[in-house]
Structure formats: structure tokens, C-alpha cells
Amino acid sequence: QVHLVESGGGLVQPGGSLRLSCPASGSIFSINYMGWYRQAPGKGRELVAYITSGGTANYATSLKGRFTISRDNAKNTVFLQMNGLKFEDTAVYYCYATQAGSEYWGQGTQVSVSS
């Protein structure tokens, strides 16, 4: 089992920045992909970004340029730097990881963009 706990969410004004963190614990050998999804109120869960163990990052097209995903393999932690936040970025952000064909999810952290 891989345990994921997100942190770093909160309330921010439009144009502001937040950095989300998600360390993995438990049976953390051979974690392959780590990444982030989000779910806005009344909408389905959508991919934000993911990064491979080798450091290759992929983004939702609409978010590329404002969001940056990174990963510290030594600490088994994935990060999401979010800049230029907009009202429509308000959502619960979920961390996930894949390992040997299984997927693991965190409980989510709320990001609210409001003036």
C-alpha cells in the first residue's frame, strides 16, 4: 500500500500562487507515475499533470505554462507549483501514484481562488 497526503491548499486571490506537496509513504518501491487531478464543484475529475520516475512531465493543455509539476524521488514527493491562479482553478486537488499496475490516491486538498 502507498499512502499519499496532500498539503499546501488554501484560499488565494486571483493571480496568486500556491505550491502543493504530496509525499508518499508505506510500500514506496518502484513508484512509477505521480501526479495531480482536480475536481471542481459539480464537475468530473480532470487531469492536471503527471510526472514519470525519470522526470518527464505532462500537463493538461489548458494549464501548461501556469502550473509546474516536479518530483523529488529521494523523498518520494510530488509537487505542483501553481501560478497566475484563476477563479476556475478552484477545486479539490488530488495526488495520485501508480505502482505495479495499481493506483493510489490521496484525500485531496482544497484550493479556492477568490477575491
pLDDT in tens, 77-108: 999 999 999 999 999 999 999 998 899 999 99
Cβ-based burial of 90 (10 A; exposed 0-12, middle 13-18, buried ≥19):
middle
Segment 16-26, tens digit of pLDDT? 999 999 999 98
Cβ proximity of 75 and 85 under 8 Å:
no
User: CA separation (Å) from 91 to 25, 31, 37, 39, 40?
Assistant: 25, 26, 10, 5, 4
Q: Are strands 2-4 and 10-12 parallel, antiparallel or unpaired?
A: unpaired
Q: And the C-alpha cell for 101?
A: 499496475
Strands 109-113 and 91-99: antiparallel
